[in-house]
Amino acid sequence: MARPDKAAAVAELTDQFRSSNAAVLTEYRGLTVAQLKTLRRSLGENATYAVVKNTLTKIAANEAGINLLDDLFAGPSAVAFVTGDPVEAAKGLRDFAKDNPALVIKGGVLDGKALSADEIKKLADLESREVLLAKLAGAMKGKQSQAAALFQALPSKFVRTADALRAKKAEQGGAE
């Protein structure tokens, strides 16, 4: 029978897997406590970083319906649970790993889809959600302005053409 403390740990990890948008599995071997503290701060407000036991985390992930990470649970592992913008957390992990090669990004899961370490690095290269939404809004506004100018041009072009025809008929009528 499972010990109560382990069952509680599995239940807590299961809740974290279910409530997060993304989870990134890392190996932290060789990092000091101070470096881990710096890493936690660099992830942003919407992410938590926890050192975990592989067996318990594997059970919790499977209970949460995530069985895509099973091969990655080897060696000392820690999980970054992301509840907000996954790009911000991925950037924090990537930047920290550049400065501290002891941090190895193993892989992760984003909205139920497995991500390799390379895909997480590509995710980190994206701009934040807010920036992408702002660019989309700007592009949409630009297209609306172009459409409005086009719709406005048609009647004014018709009026100019009608005026030119009237002037031409007036010239022809006055010349005869």
Between 132 and 34, the higher pLDDT residue: 34
Query: Hey, what are 59's tokens?
Result: 């059970």
| Cβ-proximal residues to 37 (8 Å cutoff; 6+ apart), any chain | none
Token pair of 129 as six digits: 């959600």
Which band of pLDDT confidence, cut at 50, 70 and 90, is reported for residue 1?
Answer: very low
Most confident listed range (1-10, 20-29, 167-176): 20-29
The model's pLDDT over 35-86, given as tens digits with 9 standing for 90+, comes to: 888 888 888 788 888 888 888 888 888 888 887 777 778 888 888 898 888 8
| 50: Cβ contacts below 8 Å, ≥ 6 apart | 16, 78, 79, 81
Structure tokens at 110: 């984003």
Distance CA 102, CA 31 (A): 6
Give me the pLDDT at residue 16, please. Answer: 86
pLDDT of residue 22: 87
Q: Could you say which DSSP state residue 40 is in?
A: H
Distance CA 24, CA 35 (A): 18
- DSSP label at 83? S
For 94, residues 6+ apart whose C-beta sits below 8 A from its C-beta are 105, 120, 121, 124
Residue 176 has pLDDT above 60, yes or no: no
More confident residue, 8 or 152: 8
Nearest-angstrom CA–CA distance, 24 and 76? 14
Distances (CA, A) of 161 to 158, 168, 169, 170: 5, 10, 12, 14
- pLDDT one-digit tens code per residue, 104-143: 888 888 887 888 888 888 887 777 677 777 878 887 777 7
Task: Say if residue 175's pLDDT is above 60.
Answer: no
Rounded Cα gap, residues 145 and 157, in angstroms: 18
